[in-house]
Structure 1
Amino acid sequence: MTTDSIIPVFDGHNDALLRLHLSSEPEPEKRFIKGETVGHIDLPRARKGGLAGGLCAIYVPSPSRELDANGDYPTPSHADALATTLAMASLLARIARKSEGSLRICRTADDIRAAMQAGVFASVFHIEGAEAIGSDLDELYVLHQAGLRTLGPVWSRPNIFAYGVPFRFPSSPDIGGGLTDRGKALIRACNELKIMVDLSHMNEQGFWDIAAISDAPLVASHSNVHALCPHSRNITDKQLDAIRDTGGLVGLNFGVSFFREDGLKNPDTALEGLVRHVDYIVDRIGIDHVALGSDFDGTTIPAAMRDAGDLQLLVAALRNASYDDAALRKICHENWISVLERSWAN
């Protein structure tokens, strides 16, 4: 594959920061910049696969993998979540500082365009699960000044803002309550600060509560089609329609258990399964409302696409399904840049 044939990808979700943060190996910044043999993303593999940038998530793991009596993962304390969030934000800043211009933290759509044009990895500071933010929202304002531009109020567990949708298959996403009063205040503050609100990991009631409050496009950064894979994490037809009506989008999750009809975590799964989800969204709500949200370093992806270096294999599968270059540019990066620009507009 020649460089000229590569369609650059701006991706809606990766967990590389968590992988690096949890690693016992030294010099995580250097390993990300120079390359390594574990995980899905580093700068050399990003260049090889045409991964031009994306939302780099900060996610604080649950203190235990044991489910509680309600079937939920335990929620980290505010103090632990804040400490871990700051550590990963610092890690991203150090990578940018030490990369000699190879990675840039972007705060505007023009920043993303400029970085992509220069061949620089365009990173956006994203938080997945707002446990680091207290009820007075003080941390939100400080983190915004530090570069935070997108935020998911919950991961798949409850916190003071909302009830995150548990991982269940087969299941409707209609599980648990919606936004708390603090959650409603958080959404209004995100709108005020022009922080994009991410609906992935939100249950159905929370989705509709946000839809009723927010004046920004509705975006699910790394979710798939519930009609094709009835996982609780996926988006229903009614939700897809609401996303279209606000000018939002869905970023397709590469996790096999979120796009296989049987929900199995089986890496021996063809990329054409992801193409089916793209086709469904395009047919229902239009090509302007679908993008990619890989979940690299955070999920089990098809073995045929080992890591970010193989990303153009998915682009080729889409091309084989009759998507032309103009359509591929929309799916791969233009739709993300458009929705971020409109979400961040003054």
Structure 2
Amino acid sequence: MSDHQTKAPRIIETGSTAPQPDATPQKRGLFKRLAEGLSRSTSSMTTGIATVFTKRKLDGATLEELEDLLIQADLGLETATRITDAVSEGRYDKQVDEREVRDIVAAEVSKVLTPVEAPIVLDGTHTPHVILVVGVNGTGKTTTIGKLAKLISAAGKSVVLGAGDTFRAAAIDQLKIWGERIGAPVVAREVGADSAGLAFDAIAKAQDLGADVVMIDTAGRLQNKSELMSELEKVVRVIKKRDDTAPHTVLLVLDATTGQNALNQVEVFTRAVGVTGLVMTKLDGTARGGILVAIAEKTKLPVHAIGVGEGEDDLQPFVARNFARAISGLDEEPALNEDEAE
């Protein structure tokens, strides 16, 4: 029996027997929200596939149109090529049903995404577990921190928040509101304070309290890219002065609406601070949600969660098969019962 049928997907994995937020009661609701959130990407792709394959036999021109469509959906050249190869196998010069093509798209996308599907593991190896959250402004970084902190708290772990985006008063205030909401201490300073010093203080606070996790926000916009990366590199150096094993998780939050630019962000932030995992937000705001596939193909970085709306429950565990089927316009596969799964 696969993990998808035996336990509910989670963003946070504590590695303990403590109560954890359970997605089981809302599993079908999660897929429905995912499908709705990806509707713009789905509509663009499925409409294109239907147009390409209506009353036509499969030939070189058809395959070229399909490949162009998949590349325009930001799936990436390698994945697009594999899909067109799979479609052409045994079907050349034959009528091809567009549903059959969408099944192939879903299968190939799932192959790319399944290896990167992973929760954030908080197994108690480090106390506190230091999570550094990075990304350019506008990706929903601070909101993502709040939502993740809520899940961590609900899983029975104590968390301290560090308002390290000291350039934005709104980010500091937003994190304070989240802290009040979930009962988590927030380490904050005045606007313009040194962000590296703030990170140091946040870890010290978490250590003093014996907290399980400390999540540290960071700035996302300075005068230029090199200045931003230098600032983040300084944050990491200062963190290591307090705990030389930290940060234990470096989480990059990406905005799906930026398309190919998101791939560039992964490369730049990984070089600067060693990104360990991804959260992609705003998938409901773009027709090019396939960029997540291209990023997974190229970087192989774990994808922990995706955002498909503004609500707190719209930050979902990343489930590769569900994403692949939703973006291809297919329904959720029915869960197997125990007799069928054995």
State if a TM-score over 0.5 links the two structures: no
Q: Which has the higher contact order (CA 8 A, sep 6+)?
A: 2
Q: Which has the larger radius of gyration?
A: 2
Q: Which has more helix, going by share of residues?
A: 2
